[in-house]
Amino acid sequence: MMVTNASRPVSRLSTGILVIALLYFAQSILVPLVVSLFAIALVWPLQRALKRWIPELLALLIALTMTILVILMVGSSVAWGFGRLGQWLFVNAARYQEIYVSWADWLELHGIAIAGPLADRFDVMWLVRVTQGVVLRLNGFAGFLVLVFIFVMLGLLEVDDFTRRLRLPGAQPQGEKILSAIREIAGKLRRYMAVRSFASVLTGLVVWIFALAAGLELAAAWGAIAFALNYIPFLGPLIATVFPTLFAIAQFESWQMAVVVFIGLNIIQFIIGSYLEPLLTGASLKISPFAVIFAVFFWSFMWGIPGAFLGVPMLMVFIVYCAQDPSSRWIEVLLSGGSADDEGRPAN
């Protein structure tokens, strides 16, 4: 017995490592599958409402079309914005390199000796290649869309039958618990995506207006990038702030104007992301900021750009399922901060 008890932590650690490895190496299938499950949770109410007025297959076609259009709109806005940015960087690479070297020399004259070696190794073409790489990856997700389309189509056709099977006596009591968790997850996902979409559109519009007012070139591209990247917490707004600031350095050749752009964009992100979004979201979607950051970085490492987008929704799923079991409810309280209802909830 002692040997068995001592081996349990090792067994659990080994299982965890194997699961993480499976998630990483099977991402080409798992990422479209997870995106499809979230899409089904979001569009199922639409299909259910349409089925009351039109045939089921036509309702399915409309729901699928809307899903693909939304994915294409977000992906295309990023690809278009970074594409415009890549073209500008390629044309003005020499100008950018000259400004960087002059700044590095100025820093070295003021005692920052590391600026010289950095200037020798810096190559603006690296930044161009990074930007073009992002565009190529976004333009090459046709296969991804095909898998998502197939999974969403099959899943929407299966929802009613799957719900009936979960309500069968042989599936109880787990069936009702799963249905309850699915309903809660779907409701939270829809609210989260509605608030996030509103905030993303607002962020894109305000960034576009700010870029126009500041005289920043490619104002529409910066607005499109800010709109799409706002769906990725923390990392997205950071990228949407740093890139225009670097761009402003080359365009205006003035660190003062670059600081103005940087501060202005941070104020926009702070007001919308730290004040407006929590106000619209409410306490029902409250999640620990540390847990959000960890989820975004972890799933970015596992699945790249799609993982960064899926990090928070997957964290929400994990929190809901932890809340279903009394033995794991403490995890839900730690990750979400709990709610006023938790104080009066029986421990079971």
Instruction: Kindly list the domain boundaries of the chain, sorted by start residue.
Output: 29-167
Whole-angstrom Cα distance, residue 139 to residue 131? Answer: 13
Q: Which two tokens stand for residue 304?
A: 């790249």
Q: At what angle do helices 56-91 and 219-229 cross, to 10 degrees?
A: 130
* Of 173, 189, 175, 89, residue with least CA distance to 135: 89
Has residue 144 got a pLDDT over 80? no
Per-residue pLDDT of 113-127, as tens digits, reads 544 444 454 555 555
Q: Tens digits of per-residue pLDDT, 212-249?
A: 998 888 888 899 889 988 888 888 888 889 888 888 87
Measured distance CA(223)–CA(229) in Å, rounded: 10
Cβ atoms of residues 92 and 254 within 8 Å: no
Predicted structure pTM score = 0.76
pLDDT in tens, 79-113: 788 778 777 777 776 666 676 667 666 666 766 55
Nearest-10 Cα torsion for 88, 93, 212, 224: 50
Distance spanning both ends of the chain, measured CA to CA = 29
